[in-house]
Amino acid sequence: MADPRHNTRTAVIIAGPTAVGKSEAALAVCERYGGELVSADSMQVYRGLNIGTAKPTDAERARIPHHMIDIADPHEPFSVAEYRARAEVVIDDMFARKALPVICGGSGLYINSLLYDMDFSGTAGDADLREKYTRLAHDFGNSYIYDILQRRDPAGAEKLHANDRKKVIRALERIEKGGERAGLRDFERSFTAGSLIDPLLIVLTRDRADLYELIEQRTDRMIDAGLEQEVRGLTCGGMPEDGISLLGIGYKEMLAYIRGDCDLPEAIRLIKQNSRRYAKRQMTWFRRWENALFFEIAGKTPVQNVLPELFAVIDAEFPVK
């Protein structure tokens, strides 16, 4: 068997759109190659957000050590800069122990923070605001942050186009900070290759129609598992409705239902619709990675059925020396 750990900075990244089967694949890779899982999910960092983020189960965590999950208070903002800093400590420790980091997730910005030396300059408050809205636009689309601007400053929103992301973000910054600020550089432009890891970057894909069906099935399972009760518990626990941890897909739609803005079937429909749109944006992001290996899973085939082919891809990249 090939051993990816022949290179002391090697890490395997399993990326892909929501519901494609990343977690199952990453667990299997960890077990075969002596790895530990490092989550790259911008919502799984928050404690208490379990069902809507599809966090690994207790049984899955017992199989393999998991990192970068349940590390942040959902009442507080958690930045990409903080993710990078904390993940670096975790990954360096794994390299020291000769464990293989298997980075798994669909948050493109988080994965980029490990792949590239990103510029996190600017004052802390400004950087947090710039990043907050950049991440929301990345995850939910330009129209999402434009809607926020329309609610907070309708007159100002009329002067801007919804797709002028930079100006919309600057306008939201001015609302919160009271003036134009420097903040972070545009995350999509300020990348230079980093030295934290030597990545084998694998992107799992499926036919769009099959992926969308899997997204709808997963949404139904989340509803059955008690997503509504989870959101009610968070709000009763003092979670602000405009906190970033409740702006994730599944949470914001369920919150709209709880507030009485829509009925439950409509909330479920919106979760499925927004999840499909998010998956499409994720694939657009992943296709920018020049060195990514795209691994297509046929139909709705369970990940377990294609593990031999996935292992063959990894073994081919790391021949036995």
> Hey, how many other C-beta atoms are within 10 angstroms of the C-beta on 250?
28
160 pLDDT tier (thresholds 50, 70, 90): confident
Among residues 177, 204, 220, the one where a domain terminates is 177
Q: Is 233 found in the same domain as 155? A: no
| Pick from 30-39, 196-205, 281-290, 302-311: least confident | 281-290
Q: ∠ at Cα 115 (109, 116), nearest 5°? A: 85
Burial of 109 (0-12, 13-18, 19+ CB in 10 A): buried
212 and 306 in a single domain? The answer is yes
Q: What residue has token string 């139904």?
A: 220
Reported as a single tens digit per residue, the pLDDT across 263-313 is: 999 999 999 999 999 999 999 999 989 899 999 999 999 999 999 999 999
**294, exposed or middle or buried, with CB in 10 Å at 0-12, 13-18, 19+?**
middle
Assigned domain for 230 exists: yes
Average pLDDT over residues 166-178: 80
Q: Is residue 151 part of a domain?
A: yes
Both 15 and 55 in one domain: the answer is yes
**Mean pLDDT of all residues in 106-125:** 79
Examine the domain organization and report whether 217 and 288 are in the same domain. Answer: yes
Range of the domain at 157: 124-177
Residues 6+ apart with CB under 8 A from 142: 162, 163, 165, 168
